[in-house]
Amino acid sequence: MSERNSGFTLVEMILVIVVMGILATVTTSYLGLGARMYADSSDRDQLLSQSRFAVERLVRELRNVVPNSVRVDASGNCIEFVPLLNAGRYVSIPVAPTTGTFIDIFSILPATAWTVQVQDYLTIYPTLPAHIYNTASGRTVRLTAVNNTNPIRFTFPNAGFAASSPSNRLYVFRSPVSYCVVGNQLFRYGNYNLQAVQPSPGSGLANGVLMAERLNNSAAVPYFVFNQAVLSRNSVVHLFLSFGSALSDNLFFNQEVHIPNVP
């Protein structure tokens, strides 16, 4: 009895190769699509996270500034302000032509709430940014001695203030802060001295901390716009920040921040 030989015919082998090729192509395309979707999702999530962090950090800082300390440069690329360190009410101050060297404050707050240090600044009734950034204005002095326990006393070089606050308010701050867009990156600058003319990166500002990347506003849209206070509302800062992803998607923030303006 003869045995029957078994095996693949040429047609069957070609058919199997074609089918396996089709399956491989479909599987590869499916896996590639999934990989691309994951990469796209990761890119968008990273862009959203870093842009949201930068915007929220800037908004939080703007809501705690010395009144009338915000200023924006002509290009709309830089915004500068003075973070508030402490605030309180005084009993009396030397108003020019009278001069003096100290102010006493009686506070119900514990001593730990007052974090004022020597070389900090004290300002009274600043109605313009120049009253803060230009110490020759007679509204801002630099402290030479500090006692943060009751009775709280701030000492400064012999001077007379240009005006007294109608509400006897005073504000203490340490140094200004600037946010500037350079190229497509947002930097934060701090720990620098007051300057009468608003500084800019490379001209008074250095060693900025990178806060965000991929900014891509059109030339017609400034990053920062500041509207001075009027009788019906406080000062307002408008943030126009557009972020672009590697997928040519844009994420646009239009944030309005109301600034206290009662000196």
With 0-12 / 13-18 / 19 or more C-beta atoms within 10 angstroms meaning exposed / middle / buried, residue 10 is: exposed
262 has a pLDDT exceeding 80: no
Domain for residue 36, yes or no?
no
Final residue before a domain boundary, out of 158, 173, 188: 173
Q: Is beta strand 71-72 parallel, antiparallel or unpaired with respect to 169-173?
A: unpaired
The helix or strand, by DSSP H or E, that contains position 23, with its residue range, turns out to be: helix 10-62
pLDDT of 4:
58
Choice between 228 and 24, residue whose per-residue pLDDT is larger = 228
In a domain, 1, yes or no: no
The whole-number pLDDT of residue 229 equals: 82
Strand-pairing partners, residue 224, are 239
Determine the structural domain holding residue 195 and report its residue range. 43-79+177-259
Backbone φ and ψ for 237, nearest 5 degrees, come out as -105, 130
Residues 197, 232, single domain; the answer is: yes
Tens digits of residue pLDDT in 39-90: 666 667 777 788 889 999 999 999 999 999 999 999 999 999 999 999 999 9
**Is 122 a member of any domain?**
yes
Instruction: Please indicate, yes or no, whether residues 185 and 71 belong to a single structural domain of this protein.
Output: yes
The answer to whether residue 196 sits within a structural domain is: yes
Tell whether 116 is covered by a domain: yes
Assess whether 52 and 117 both reside in one domain.
no
pLDDT at residue 46, as a whole number: 76
Pairing label, strands 169-173, 86-89: antiparallel
- Whether residue 190 sits in one domain with residue 74: yes
Chosen domain end from 173, 194, 228: 173
How do residues 91-149 score in pLDDT, each as one tens digit? 899 999 999 999 998 787 777 788 899 999 999 999 999 999 999 999 999 999 999 88
Each residue of 152-181: pLDDT tens digit?
999 999 999 999 999 999 999 999 999 999
166 and 182, same domain (yes or no): no
Whether residues 52 and 90 fall in one domain = no
Instruction: Indicate the residue among 147, 173, 199 that finishes a domain.
Output: 173
Q: What pLDDT was estimated at residue 174? A: 96
Give the number of domains in the chain. 2
Same domain, 154 and 115: yes
Residue 21's pLDDT band (cuts 50, 70, 90): confident
CATH number at residue 150: 2.40.10
Q: pLDDT per residue over 164-223, tens digit each?
A: 999 999 999 999 999 999 999 999 999 999 999 999 999 999 999 999 999 999 888 999
Residues 95 and 114 in one domain: yes
Q: For residues 166 and 84, give the distance between their C-alpha atoms in angstroms, rounded to a whole number.
A: 20
